[in-house]
Structure 1
């Protein structure tokens, strides 16, 4: 009887927690909100378990996290399924006068066939899938995060291409196709991949963005699923946008300042070499879903491959999603990666199967990771309310 009463109380408390609406987050066009999708079902299971255990503060933290606007990912569905799913998401968001963030993740050879490998089988299949996305969006507003790691990690980077770089050329053709299919849609803004500021230099990624069609898109995104600070991501985006503008005016991207230049010197270079108005430059968005405490610094000498990007311990949620960034070039801070979902099985150079930093087997990529979810919510900076 006592356990049944506890279960009923937990169910009632869960309903109260999840009935509290998420805070409105204004976007630049029309003052709408960013869309908050239904959470991973396992998040609700975790909340219910915390409530049954009397851990009400922890349950509230997870509830507040999943009631924050974040992206909806598409990548394993057939064209028919993805058209239906995108249409439902954009219709649901439109009814709430909100703008959804759609993360598309289906490019052939994605993630070098590693933790999040998969994707369409070939270019024709991918184009059919993109066309279904476009049909699902229609004329409803959407922000499109186009293929994380697609430009920062091309097939030639993985040793998976031939001497003529056939697969890499196909990758750029696929991204260009998606830009041309999606950016012209009324109300749709498309952002291309840059990896993160501790990966490619500005001089390396800007040419890839240009080859990928960024000048026909709204812009690009950075730090997706990573942990670099918002300051570093914003500065990286500003430099990339400036470099693209410089190249569009006939300049050489090799001459652009990169993220490792002294900032005073880089600002002086931009002032002297970039004449375009911010309105005419490539804009960017950043992923702040897990960067509240910045990147993890692995213990010195402990691991042969620390995999600092893979479920690092002691991280926290970052800035809440918003389009009020205070920057003429930064369109939004977004939660692109779903906080609480695993990065994959992290062995850190060991034989596994446990993650030696956590002393447990990490869930496969995309599955709910209760321990990490609570960690992110507890260590959020700024704190959750």
Structure 2
């Protein structure tokens, strides 16, 4: 999935999964609800192990108002069954509720024919349930600076063929596209992968803009570009990157994929980016815009004086709230040379439930893009490893199910996942 698990203060990222620390002990329920929870947990676990998208039916004519829930990671189902067997029914119910929450479907490889067929299966199944699928596309060449979630297409022509296949898979059915997490916030020039002429960074912008031009014109598709998060790039830095990537032709941008910043912080950051994009489109300079580190009153006064577009005329954003219920992790001072606060940080919890009704005229959705319970990678925090020193054991590879973290996310969820 995505490298955005990092705070990017170190210039690195993790795209595919997240994990947490060693799980807390399960809390068996008393005799009031066990049978109901056992039945529900077992049913979800069985579904997670066997589910495939349903056969096609005609899509509804009206736009979907609910978000799509894909089949769960099969290892989540196995964890639920194991918790039930050990009578840890509250934990089983929590993991069940987490996996049954609408989440993104990630695409990060495969041949064009494979990705076309898989995307088609997803959008058809979502349309059958009158739900909006969120597609996280993650195949950009040089993905994750060739680190934890290395991979992606071999070159620009291969990537363009892959995007063409995604377009064919979506067709005219509704879809929200989260386009290439970390692709703009983590450019080749940021991680020493570029040449003296900046050729690879220029190619990155070309690839992203190609995807925008291919997907945004589809009848039911909205495309959002990577803007990192509020603890990484300043508004003044990320706005030129968005523009170079083609945000002018996209619906907007996304924030916080696989990261942990708080909702209020992200909403303010998103407003500042949208406002700066509007200001630049009217002839202003991104360097003049207020950023997230300005005093709020000063920044708002600047916006009032310089940005006069209606929200409907500005670029909108979506936010990943999948694991930010407890906000970001603050590493212990002076302990680690590279604390990797983006990488399986301890004590985190799931955040606000996915919704298309945010109450913010610039925010189109709160989404669970990163799949809660999947590892961010094998974090060593500047130590020789291989153990994660915050946990005392080795984390799973990026994107693999991390049972201990799954329980942490359930136990620390805000709002709670189960009563």
Q: Report how many aligned residue pairs link the two structures.
A: 370
1:353 aligns with 2:386: yes
Work out which of the residue numbers 91, 100, 104 in structure 1 matches 2:133.
Answer: 100
Is this contact kept in 2: 1:151–1:194, CA < 8 A?
yes
Match of residue 370 from structure 2: 337
Q: After the TM superposition, which residues 142-157 of structure 1 pair with which residues of structure 2 at under 5 Å, given as runs?
A: 142-157=175-190
Aligned residue among 281, 306, 309 for 1:248: 281
Question: Is the counterpart of residue 318 in structure 1 residue 351 in structure 2?
Answer: yes
Q: Of 161, 180, 188, which aligns to 1:128? A: 161
**Shift of residue 330 of structure 1?**
0.3
- The equivalent of 2:103 in structure 1 is 70
1:288-334, CA deviations, whole angstroms, 9 ceiling, x for partnerless residues? 00000000011111111110000000000000000111111000000
SS at match of 2:116: helix
- Give the unaligned 5+ runs of structure 1: 1-7, 21-28
**CA gap 1:288/1:10 in 2 versus in 1, 3 angstroms:** closer
In the other structure, the counterpart of 1:300 is 333
- 2:212 alignment counterpart: 179
The 3 A distance-change label for structure 1 pair 124 and 16 is: closer
C-alpha deviation, 1:14, in angstroms? 3.1
C-alpha contact (below 8 Å) 2:373/2:402 kept by paired residues: yes
C-alpha distance in structure 2 between counterparts of 1:11 and 1:265, whole Å: 54
**Alpha-carbon distance in 1 for matches of 2:42, 2:294:** 51
**Aligned structure 1 segments of 4 or more residues deviating by more than 6 angstroms:** 8-11
- Structure number with higher relative contact order (C-alpha < 8 Å, ≥ 6 residues apart): 2
Instruction: Find the residue that maps to 1:350 and give its secondary structure.
Output: coil
SS in 2 for 1:346: coil
Q: CA deviation at 1:268?
A: 1.0
Check 1:171–1:17 CA distance in 2 against 1; reply closer, same or farther (3 A cut). Answer: closer
TM-score, structure 2 as length reference:
0.86
**Alpha-carbon deviations, 1:250-309, whole Å to 9, x = none?**
000000000001111111111111111111110000010000000001111111111000
Match of 1:14 among 25, 41, 45: 41
Tell me, in whole angstroms, the C-alpha distance in 2 between the residues paired with 1:157 and 1:260.
22
Structure-2 change in CA distance of 1:48 and 1:124 (3 Å): same
Q: 1:10 to 1:325 in 2, by over 3 A?
A: closer
* Residue 17 of structure 1: how far off its partner (Å): 5.2
Structure 1 CA distance for aligned equivalents of residues 250 and 329 of structure 2 = 33
The 3 A distance-change label for structure 1 pair 317 and 86 is: same
Q: Does 1:159 align with 2:182?
A: no
Aligned residue in 1 for 2:229: 196
1:366 pairs with 391, 399, 405, which one?
A: 399
Instruction: Report what 2:22 is aligned to.
Output: none
Distance 1:333 1:19 in 2: 28
Counterparts of 1:211 and 1:101 in 2: how far apart (Å)? 24
Report the Cα distance in structure 2 between the residues aligned to 1:292 and 1:140, rounded to whole angstroms.
32
